[in-house]
Amino acid sequence: MSEAQVENARTDDAKVRPIPVARRIDAGPVGESQRIASLDVLRGFAVLGILVVNIQSFSMISAAYMNPTATGDLNGTNYWVWLVSHVLVEQKFIAIFSMLFGAGIVLMADRREAAGRSPAAAHYRRMAVLLVIGLAHGYLLWEGDILCAYAICGLVVYLFRRRRPGVLIALGLAGVAVASAISLFFGWSMAFWPAESITALQHEWAPTQEMIQQEVAAYRGGWFEQMSYRAPITFFFQTLVFITDVFWWASGMMLLGMALFKLGVLSAARSDRFYVTLIVLAVGVGLPMVLYGVHQNFAAGWEAGHGFFLGRQYNCWASILVSLGWVSAVMLVCRHNLLAWLTRRLAAVGRMALSNYLLQTVICTTIFYGHGLGLFGSVERPGQIAIVLAVLALQLVLSPIWLGFFRFGPVEWLWRAATYMHLPAMRRT
């Protein structure tokens, strides 16, 4: 996962540079010449980056997503691939994705209000369609879906879109703090849990060999065998996990994204010094905090209670700083028109981020699940990264080609049609 935001800004194919907000305001859906280039580049960067983490869920038992020792082999190259992915990517790119989702809410609402139209109906239709897409994605294809959570969070954070940046930042950090406090409370309360609940948690964190074999057999089976395993997990994620964790964290990051958009951070409008400062904080504070959390987890022997509740707190908070470091690096590239060959392709990926996010699921489930090659549980972490690089290269190539013939990604077209209640022209003239 999906560590999805998904379609709110476009870039033209010329130069990748920030476009002043005043030039983006008009009456209808956002046109190509009205896109903020840096948003598209950053969105493409995020949607590609989250696959580095999501590949674990596609290819390995569910416990391995949080507990890298659950599969038994965390040595040599497997260790280094996990460590680099965890320190630099895990929770950082989904944080960027969530911030962009919040920024997109403000962008769409501002545009419609400037055109004299109420944004509420379009926004709620937009979230309703995203919810349906997310439910289908989660139950029919992959339990790691994030779109359903985004749709519900989007209904709530929309109400705060007019708040000042300082208020949005405070509310966003408060949301993350609530998620953190709930997790710590559960960890503290374990002393009062019945024995069977503790055993269930331990098995979820470090499943027995029999449980591992059952999960591998389910995902190497046909679609119906997968459904018997996937549906309960998806329901659990979309209920208890969402209520106690995802809602607070994702909403908090969306509110931070609203603030950053209003402050010009996501449109490459701040100074080089500003972005360099954020990078220094990411490297000097954020990364050491993540590494300390890794050290603490190993010191605790990757024990279930510690890992589930306390051990993840370091990365939870540090991911905010590290994600801002990634954002700043991308903004500097956009500000100075560096790597134009790459940023144009990233912008194309970002313009059809929802389609690319779902395409990653289709490709990876075909590779790992039983209706395809059935490689689930048999590809180690270096092989997973090789597959990630191949998928990312494919999307960097295909996205500009598609947009050379069509104005939108296929799912973006559907989403836009339902939001604005008319069928926009798909093919380029």
Q: What is the pLDDT of residue 10?
A: 35
Whether residue 111 has pLDDT greater than 60: yes
For residue 140 the two structure tokens come to: 């029919």
User: pLDDT digits over 112-129, tens only?
Assistant: 888 888 899 999 999 999
Number of structural domains (the chain) is 1
* pLDDT band at 25; cut points 50, 70, 90: very low
User: pLDDT digits over 343-360, tens only?
Assistant: 999 999 999 999 999 999
Whether residue 260 has pLDDT greater than 60: yes
Tokens 């055109």 appear where? 115
What's the rounded mean pLDDT across residues 194-202? 92
* Measured CA angle at 32 (ends 121, 137), to 5 deg: 55
* pLDDT band at 424; cut points 50, 70, 90: confident
Question: Is 426 inside any structural domain?
Answer: no
Eight-class DSSP state of 213: H
Whether residue 30 has pLDDT greater than 60: no
Q: What is the pLDDT of residue 294?
A: 96
Q: What is the pLDDT of residue 23?
A: 32
The span from the CA of 328 to the CA of 271, in Å, is 10
Half-sphere exposure for 102 (CA within 13 Å, toward CB): 33
* pLDDT band at 142; cut points 50, 70, 90: very high
Whether residue 177 has pLDDT greater than 60: yes
User: pLDDT digits over 261-284, tens only?
Assistant: 999 999 999 999 999 999 999 999
Whether residue 103 has pLDDT greater than 90: yes
Question: Is 152 inside any structural domain?
Answer: yes
Domain that holds residue 175: 21-276+335-420
First to last CA, the chain: 36
Whether residue 24 has pLDDT greater than 50: no
* pLDDT band at 35; cut points 50, 70, 90: low
Helices 353-368, 340-351: inter-axial angle, 10-degree rounding: 90
Query: What pTM does this model have?
Result: 0.90
* pLDDT band at 9; cut points 50, 70, 90: very low
Q: What is the pLDDT of residue 12?
A: 35
Whether residue 4 has pLDDT greater than 80: no
Q: What is the pLDDT of residue 28?
A: 42
DSSP string, 52-98: HHHHHHHHS-GGGGT-TTTTS---HHHHHHHHHHHHHTTTHHHHHHH
User: pLDDT digits over 284-335, tens only?
Assistant: 999 999 999 999 999 999 999 999 899 999 999 999 999 999 999 999 999 9
What's the rounded mean pLDDT across residues 12-31? 36
Question: Is 381 inside any structural domain?
Answer: yes
What's the rounded mean pLDDT across residues 22-26? 32
* pLDDT band at 422; cut points 50, 70, 90: confident
Q: What is the pLDDT of residue 137?
A: 97
Question: Is 321 inside any structural domain?
Answer: no
Question: Is 60 inside any structural domain?
Answer: yes
Helices 313-335, 247-262: inter-axial angle, 10-degree rounding: 30
Q: What is the pLDDT of residue 6?
A: 35
* pLDDT band at 71; cut points 50, 70, 90: confident
Question: Is 401 inside any structural domain?
Answer: yes
Helices 247-262, 92-114: inter-axial angle, 10-degree rounding: 60
Whether residue 213 has pLDDT greater than 50: yes
Q: What is the pLDDT of residue 17?
A: 35
Question: Is 290 inside any structural domain?
Answer: no
What's the rounded mean pLDDT across residues 360-381? 96
Closest CA to 385 of 86, 20, 167: 86
* pLDDT band at 14; cut points 50, 70, 90: very low
Question: Is 3 inside any structural domain?
Answer: no
User: pLDDT digits over 379-394, tens only?
Assistant: 999 999 999 999 999 9
The span from the CA of 107 to the CA of 212, in Å, is 45
Whether residue 11 has pLDDT greater than 50: no
For residue 283 the two structure tokens come to: 């490297």
Q: What is the pLDDT of residue 179?
A: 97
Please give the residue that has the higher pLDDT: either 27 or 58: 58
